[in-house]
Amino acid sequence: MLGRNEMSMHLILGGARSGKSTLATRLAEASGRPVALIVTARADDAEMVARIQRHRTSRPTTWTVIEEPLALGESLRRWVGPDRFVVVDCLTLWLTNLLLDADPTRFQRERQALLEALSQVSGALVLVSNETGLGVVPMGPLSRQFVDESGWLHQDLARMADRVTLMVAGLPMPLKGSPS
């Protein structure tokens, strides 16, 4: 178990259906600790409602689930601790929520709050996010901003993380730290 002031952060990146959430679930279950899952999705349409329901039925019922689409830094300060394993799924939905927020300054404030929280909390944490920068430059200013911001966020998080794993076709490819 981690000591009181230790942080273990694992960033898991990959494309859609690459196995990111499956790996995060496996790591959480293997930790032997109580698990808190911070989910960032919003049920804005029927398809997303169905996706959220599939996720609910596939995860252990003993996990504490926190729905936080915007104030992720604040949520991490509350939930990350030395006696708990925390999973955030997923950062790209969180980023989308913020980029579409009515307040155009909220994204930068929440991004900074996330990075500050990560530098101050202690405990075991897995961050799940989609790697969006492997394709062509998207059309449209919002899409380009999304790809830029997610890339910059991933770079900042990868510098902070103890481990970084890229998931491809269900296979973990360690990029930083010991293999999972």
In Å, how far from its chain's centre is CA 16? Answer: 14
> How much is the average pLDDT of 111-137?
93
- The architecture of the domain spanning 7-175 is 3-Layer(aba) Sandwich (3.40)
pLDDT value of position 179? 67
pTM of the model: 0.92
Is the pLDDT at 4 greater than 50, yes or no? no
Query: 169 vs 17, 43, 61, 126, CA distance in Å?
Result: 8, 27, 27, 19
Q: What is d(CA 17, CA 133) in angstroms, rounded to the nearest whole number?
A: 16
Sheet holding 7-14, edge to edge: 64-67, 35-39, 85-89, 123-130, 7-14, 163-168, 171-176
- Domain residue ranges of the chain, discontinuous segments joined by +: 7-175
pLDDT value of position 121? 93
**Which ranges constitute the DSSP H helices of the chain?**
20-31, 46-58, 72-79, 91-99, 106-120, 141-160
Residues assigned a catalytic role: 55
Q: How many Cβ atoms are within 10 Å of 41's Cβ, its own excluded?
A: 18
Regarding predicted confidence, which is higher, 5 or 72?
72
Nearest to 12 by CA among 35, 52, 3, 21: 21
The residue behind tokens 């929520």 is 97
Cβ contacts of residue 77 below 8 Å, gap of 6+?
A: 117, 120, 121
Regarding predicted confidence, which is higher, 49 or 145?
145
The residue type of 75 is S
pLDDT value of position 6? 63
Residue 77 in tokens = 């300060």
CB-facing half-sphere around the CA of 22: CA atoms within 13 A = 13
> How much is the average pLDDT of 96-109?
96
